[in-house]
Amino acid sequence: MRGADLYPLALILILGAAFTKSAQFPFHFWLPNAMEAPTPVSAFLHSATMVQAGVYLLARMTPMLGETVAWTTVLTVFGSVTLLWGGIAALRQTDMKQMLAQSTIASLGLLVLLIGVGSEAAISGMVVYFVAHALYKAGFFMLVGAIDHGTGTRDITALGGLRTKMPLTFIAALLAALAMVGLPLTVGYLAKEEMYIALANPDWRPIVLLLVAITGNALLAGVGLAIAIKPFFGPLLPTPKHPHEGAPGLVVGPLVLGALGVGMALATDWFGHTVLVPTASAILHAEVESHLTLVPDFTGLIPFLSALTWALGALVFFQLVSMRSAIRRLTQQLPNADRAFDGLMFGLISFAGAITRFFHHGRLERYLQMVFVALALAMVLPLALNHGYDVLLPFSEWIAHPLLPTMMAYEWIVLGMAVLGLVALLVARNRLSSILALGIQGTSIALIFLLFGAPDLAFTQFMVEILSVVILALVMTRLNLRERDNRPFEDIFRDGFIALVCGVGVALMLMVILTGTLDTRLSDFFTATSLPVAHGRNIVNVILVDYRGLDTLGEISVVMAAGIAILALIRSRSKGRS
């Protein structure tokens, strides 16, 4: 796949799908706006299911698309930007649900970054963090819902002192925050250790990604500490509702998820061999070993990187108010994605309205012109592109040396009828004459079909002509048939030119087909299988009934619809007279 010619196109399409699904920059703006649902629904959709589907797709496509410069560069760059953008945007919010939504964007960016690195340690860190994020983010969403239910607000600046009023919710918040900060004895700690192991490399690129990961994790840690501490400590603030613990159903979910985040980490060996090894091995298409441990190795650099992350996270927490004000002042000067999206949607709606007004104006004449222009282009353009000027050779030779075929007298009569009908149509002085001349033209074509061995086409053409003349006559009875439609010369010239192009296109197409080599494979198949397979000696009937059964059914349906339309016209005319 990596060496295929279509690899760039496949990469662009798959990355486009995954980035929009998992809210990667610059397609991140939809996720915070999708938080209108109740918090339990947000917990389900925005923690580990819907938004992480794009991350899952990228992970499973790694064996086919990964290990290329384009793959690594795009995923690490966009993942890094998304991580930092989401983390900074989360600090700007005061609605705890929006804080979690923006931090989800950051977490998704971190996952994409690790997939872009693509090493065994990076994929292992991605898998563990995938699980950790699902547990602590779902728990956070649920407990924010419990706080909203118990106090009537989700504004973090309007909450305080709830630990005595909502003790179970406070415990759930602490468990979720432990994992989000990445403290020991949690799955979040194991994930952070694995990703730092993957990025601890003396080369400049891993060093840059390591700094991005530390900064992003510190921002996420500050958000987690803010949601777990600010609403529950300090003085009890007045809220729209009297603070109270919710029903057991509101708190049991966050408590269970928080306990799982700790319990899975304590069962390190089970988690590594049951979850990490098969998942990472499936992603890399290679056997992966688990080296997860809760015991830090102080001889290496990783514990100190974790300590640096915690210190920066604490700094973000204590400076949250000032950082929020600074970020808001800064973002006021930047383009707003929501306003840009709204402008794009309004522009799209206006453009759609203009297109609708242009094409659906209610004028039948314009509709017919568009149909025949499309027909002319469909015939002439392929001929010109595929054959060029060679398509005109048979036509020019016929003009230079007109050879009239030897025909029987009745064949000349039918041809004369066709020419007579055409002339009569062009010189008709009123609408009734035009209808009759059009019927002569169609009848002549049906007779040509009949003379050259196509009775089924002739029968269909006769039916169409009869129905067309009857329908036109019934419609025209509401008009003055003795009048002639006075049309400007430019309308006559335009419509005549379109008709001429369509006629020349049909003629050229027939000449190209007749001068080509006849492929008889299909007719040979019908001849060979008509009797033994379809049990019919008349090959035409077998084709219509068996091989083209649905097509024939469609033709019958058209005739039936036309008959129903005629009946409706006759009945409406009778009612009008009565």
pLDDT tens sequence across 89-148 = 888 888 888 888 888 888 889 998 998 888 888 888 888 888 888 888 888 888 888 888
Do 279 and 349 lie in a common domain?
no
Do 79 and 101 lie in a common domain?
yes
pLDDT digits (tens, 9 = 90+) for 314-368: 898 888 888 888 888 877 766 666 677 778 888 999 999 888 888 787 777 888 8
Output the pLDDT for position 416: 87
The Cβ of residue 487 has, within 10 Å, a number of other Cβ atoms equal to 11
* Domain assignment of residue 276, yes or no: yes
* Domain assignment of residue 501, yes or no: no
* Domain assignment of residue 194, yes or no: yes
Do 58 and 138 lie in a common domain?
yes
Output the pLDDT for position 478: 65
Output the pLDDT for position 387: 65
* Domain assignment of residue 280, yes or no: yes
* Domain assignment of residue 133, yes or no: yes
CA 232 to chain centre: 43
Alpha-carbon torsion 54, 60, 61, 67, what sign?
Answer: positive
d(CA 541, CA 558): 19
Do 73 and 106 lie in a common domain?
yes
Query: Residue 348 belongs to what domain range?
Result: 324-360
* Domain assignment of residue 382, yes or no: no
Output the pLDDT for position 573: 62
Query: Of 335, 360, 385, which one is at a domain's C-terminal end?
Result: 360
Residues of the chain with pLDDT under 50: none
Output the pLDDT for position 321: 84
Output the pLDDT for position 165: 86
First-to-last alpha carbon distance for the chain, in angstroms, is 75
Do 288 and 348 lie in a common domain?
no
Do 297 and 350 lie in a common domain?
no
Output the pLDDT for position 357: 83
Q: Give the tokens for residue 569.
A: 């016209």
Do 255 and 335 lie in a common domain?
no
Contact 153, 257 (CB under 8 A): no
What is the count of structural domains for the chain? Answer: 2
d(CA 117, CA 53): 19
| Cα 420 to Cα 168, 423, 443, 468, distances in angstroms | 95, 5, 12, 19
Output the pLDDT for position 52: 80
Alpha carbons within 13 angstroms on the beta-carbon side of residue 449 total: 15
Do 17 and 160 lie in a common domain?
yes
Output the pLDDT for position 290: 80
Output the pLDDT for position 391: 60
* Domain assignment of residue 408, yes or no: no
* Domain assignment of residue 475, yes or no: no
Do 135 and 253 lie in a common domain?
yes
Output the pLDDT for position 548: 78
